Amino acid sequence: MSALTAVHTIADLRSLVARWRKAGERVALVPTMGALHEGHISLTQIAREKGAKTLVSIFVNPTQFAPHEDFGKYPRTFEADCARLRTAQVDAVFAPLPEDIYPEGFCTTISLAGPATAGLEDKFRPTHFAGVATIVAKLLLQATPDLAIFGQKDFQQLAVIRQMALDLDLHIEIIGAPTIRAEDGLALSSRNAYLSQEERAIAPLLHANMQAAAKAIVAGGAIETTLDQARTAITQAGFAIDYLELRDARSLAKIEKLSDRPLRLLAAARLGKTRLIDNIAVNG
Ligand code: PAF
């Protein structure tokens, strides 16, 4: 197992990155909220493959949770996370204190449009992306990495971050990494830990029905009819659907008919108290 440097202050983070830079290293940041699983580890592997020093941030960001959401019970497993990062040969972990990230008087938020207002996650979590964009901008400015890696599982989040990095001239390569799934197709997520045994058995049906719908659409099925059938099947399996939508993969705009542009099928659905999100490519 390799050594994992842990830093907790912004000053220590900046010194560490400055040492790496002086030694001619490139730096990759993998922002996370901890409760790490194989999906997160796959992001660190991409950083290593790029030959960069790998820095993982762990911060459960309060501003991206609405008051009724799961901020309080979000899993916090710092020691286990560090053990996983050591095994994955990650170079450093940055785990700041909330009061250093949001000191008294903090009052700046990034205001978003474009992919952040596509009517998907934003419709159900209206304050979420402002919180995400603000913390990600802060982490990118604190760590000044050459590249930052995010999972495609949060597909709209990835689009929001790409747009923000472009608009603010951050000059950091944003990499979107494929979703890692359990053998039964369930997308890995820290929130899967909330599922009961019974719910866990039902959970893969979200992805299975999405795959069936994508296949039917590619085979020429009418888009809205196919989506309605999938919505019915997902509801009958026990989910309460927030959305199941076919969108342009780049702009996240609504689409009326198939074209040769890449499309994405995106869904959010609640199973008991757990909210699951997923998305798949439809035509390349
Ligand atoms: O995807 C996440 O885990 C979070 O939204 C992120 C990007 C770490 C920001 O808090």
Residues 7-19: tens digit of each pLDDT? 999 999 999 999 9
Task: Provide the pLDDT for residue 259.
Answer: 82
CA-151 nearest atom, ligand 1: 1
Q: How far is the CA of 61 from the centre of ligand 1 (A)?
A: 8
Q: Is 248 helix (H, G, I), strand (E, B) or coil?
A: strand
Confirm or reject: Cβ of 135 under 6 Å from ligand 1.
Answer: yes
Q: How far is the CA of 204 from the centre of ligand 1 (A)?
A: 23
**Nearest to residue 42, comparing CAs of 129, 152, 170?**
152
**Stretch 241-254: mean pLDDT, rounded?**
96
**Stretch 153-166: mean pLDDT, rounded?**
98
State pTM to two decimals: 0.97
Look at residue 284 and tell me whether its pLDDT is greater than 60.
Answer: no
Confirm or reject: Cβ of 190 under 6 Å from ligand 1.
Answer: no
| Tens-digit pLDDT profile for residues 259-283 | 889 999 999 999 999 999 999 999 7
Residue in 55, 61, 152, 189 to alter for ligand 1 test, most ligand atoms within 8 A of Cβ: 61
Strands across the sheet containing 173-177: 5-7, 92-94, 53-58, 27-32, 147-151, 173-177
**Stretch 50-74: mean pLDDT, rounded?**
97
CA 184 to mean position of chain CA atoms: 20
Q: What are phi and psi of 97, to 5 degrees?
A: -85, 145
Q: Whose CA is nearest to atom 6 of ligand 1?
A: 32
Task: Provide the pLDDT for residue 131.
Answer: 98
Task: Provide the pLDDT for residue 258.
Answer: 83
| Tens-digit pLDDT profile for residues 69-124 | 999 999 999 999 999 999 999 999 999 999 999 999 999 999 999 999 999 999 99
Q: Name 246's Cβ contacts closer than 8 Å, sequence gap at least 6.
A: 217, 223, 227, 255, 263, 264, 265, 282
| Tens-digit pLDDT profile for residues 18-40 | 999 999 999 999 999 999 999 99
Q: How far is the CA of 133 from the centre of ligand 1 (A)?
A: 9
| Tens-digit pLDDT profile for residues 188-237 | 999 999 999 999 999 999 999 999 999 999 999 999 999 999 999 999 99
Q: Whose CA is nearest to atom 2 of ligand 1?
A: 32
The Cα–Cα gap between 20 and 9 comes to 17
Active site residues: 40
Task: Provide the pLDDT for residue 257.
Answer: 82
Q: How far is the CA of 235 from the centre of ligand 1 (A)?
A: 28
Can you spell out the DSSP letters for 170-208? ---EEEEEPPPB-TTSPBP-GGGGG--HHHHHHTHHHHH
Task: Provide the pLDDT for residue 239.
Answer: 98
Residue in 150, 158, 172 to alter for ligand 1 test, most ligand atoms within 8 A of Cβ: 150
Confirm or reject: Cβ of 7 under 6 Å from ligand 1.
Answer: no
Q: Name 130's Cβ contacts closer than 8 Å, sequence gap at least 6.
A: 63, 109, 110, 111, 112, 116
Q: How far is the CA of 32 from the centre of ligand 1 (A)?
A: 5
